[in-house]
Structure 1
Amino acid sequence: MEGRIVDVKGQKLYIEYNQVFKNRPTLVFLHDSLGCTQLWRDFPSELGKAVQCNVLVYDRLGYGKSFPMPTHERKNSYMEAEADVLNDLLDVLKIDKVILFGHSDGGTIALIMAAKYPGSVNGVICEAGHIFVEDFTIKGVKDALETYKTTNLPERLAKYHGDKTEMLVKAWTEIWLSDRFKTWNIEQILKNITAPLLFIQGENDEYGTLDQVERTVSQVNGKAEKFIIPNVGHTPHKEVPGMVLEKAAGFINSILKSE
């Protein structure tokens, strides 16, 4: 897929948009807190081919090939704001039928998008998302920050984010490790999600317990199912791609059949 920069209300975002299937929905992929378009590898195109859907992958501001974020300081509502940006991006691209696939922060943004803009979302696949802050998650972020400080992780991330790397690591770790973010919780909006939901989580996820899954699927108003994978960590789509592809394709096909 060829990439380009799109202006979304002043934010210059890098996108890759593949429109090969006429009159079919678009799968929108939302990366994690240190991720980007490139780090999805070929997973989006493989899933798109499997279900014959168009594919949109994009870098949020400050990530990958998008322009830098103006500051590393984030509000508690930063993921809610990203859902608004996604809605604006879909307007710019004139996409009206989407199925979201979000990982980690991207999974949370997908849930918020489905809650705030239910008319725009036909289905949600949330992989390792968060709906509230756990001590377990804070420990995971602390461990990641330590890895960043003591290994070659900065160089590895710089291959994808360039000179934006330090700022995005700071943006992610500072908000999640702040006292004010401990009360962040989106459970009150889950009832607004009416689109079908598939929540995928590795049993050994380093950033969240299965409470995130249980409390999400029990509070949404649409059909919801969970897919818990034993012996897998925070990135099932990389650790067991075949298994996740098969489950996601089955879920998407069930949505398309019921329409």
Structure 2
Amino acid sequence: MAEPVTTLRDVSPSASVALPANAHRGALNIEYRWLNAHLADAPLAVFLHEGLGSVAMWKDWPQTLCDGLGMRGLVYSRPGYGRSTPRPHDVKLPVDFMSVQAREVLPALLDALDVNEAERKRMWLIGHSDGGSITLLYAAAFPDALAGAVAIAPHVFVEDISVASIAEAKTAYEQSDLRSKLARHHDDVDSAFYGWNDIWLSDAFRSWSIVDELDCIRCPLLAVQGYDDHYGSMAQIDTIAQRAAQTQLTKLENCGHSPHRDAPRVLNDAIVAFIGTHSRSARI
């Protein structure tokens, strides 16, 4: 019988960091966790969660992927989610809330955690769903300050299938045990849910699009989508490839909106191969 393998993991609990107020937002406390912090010289992978996600809701997938990549990792809960500052109930998210996260909140978090310019140029962003959209927006806003990006089931425009599924989620939240399940992961579960749900179901958001911003992305880009995704069609990642020619597409059979849960091994293999190829190219 083979000897058991022990993997060294960073098991420290989540911490929080305070981001100062600026002209566009108030002060924020952000929940975050480092992965593989002992790999001090390794590149950093930053994980951006879905519309109802948090540090805890990723479970162990970021750690597993970082182990496969031999990289450090940073997971954090965006404002309104997890243990980060909740959204005040009387404040609605703006239509450009994902742009604010990409251009203001994430850079401020990296500043607060002393992630310097050299580290950012070696950094990879890995985002899912709304986090995938934020990943694309960051890559477009900072085209020379990123090694590459992975967008998993991202949104670049609003589809009817997305709106219909988000409307169904509202019914489930109000009539099933979905609220109690989400409450385990968010300090203010109603703030988290309705912040996401209300903006996506608003009339103003129906015309939201980040397609034009995709033209500004210059870094290596992997876009992933499942064929059984009920929150978006293949038109999302096909559009990314049309606007950013360097994009590599991975389309997954028997996979829904969350490839890291539905097909983690296939997803990890695709990401490790993609990042490995571009890391070797950067050294040549």
Q: Counterpart of 1:41?
A: 59
SS at match of 2:154: coil
Distance 1:188 1:65 in 2: 33
Which consecutive unaligned segments of at least 5 residues does structure 1 have? none
Q: Distance in 1 between matches of 2:207 and 2:179?
A: 30
1:247 pairs with one of 270, 274, 282: 270
Matched residue SS, 1:161: coil
**Matches of residues 42-61 of structure 1 in structure 2 within 5 Å?**
42-61=60-79
Aligned residue type for 2:183: A
Paired position in structure 2 for 1:99:
124
2:229 matched to 1:205? yes
Tell me the amino acid that sits aligned with residue 105 of structure 1: D
Amino acid at match of 1:241: P
Which of 6, 19, 25 in structure 2 is aligned with 1:8?
Answer: 19
Q: 1 CA distance for matches of 2:32 and 2:267?
A: 23
Instruction: Give the residue type in structure 1 aligned to 2:40.
Output: K
SS in 2 for 1:107: helix
> Once the 2 structures are TM-superposed, how far is the Cα of residue 62 of structure 1 from its aligned partner?
1.3
Aligned residue pairs: how many? 257
C-alpha deviations, 1:62-91, integer Å up to 9, x for none? 111112123440111000001121111112
Find the partner of 1:75 among 69, 77, 94: 94
Q: Aligned-pair distance for 1:52?
A: 0.9
**What per-residue deviation string (whole Å, max 9, x for no partner) do you get for residues 1-49 of structure 1?**
4221111222100000132223221100001011111111111111111
1:134 aligns with 2:178: no
**Aligned position for 2:109:** 89
* Seq. identity, %: 33
Partner of 1:226: 249
Which residue is 1:146 aligned to? 171
What CA distance in whole angstroms lies between the structure 1 residues aligned with 2:66 and 2:255? 24
Larger radius of gyration: 2
Structure 2: gaps spanning 5 or more residues: 1-10, 21-26
**In structure 2, what residue type is equivalent to 1:203?**
Y
Aligned to 2:23: none
Per the normalisation by structure 1, the TM-score is 0.96
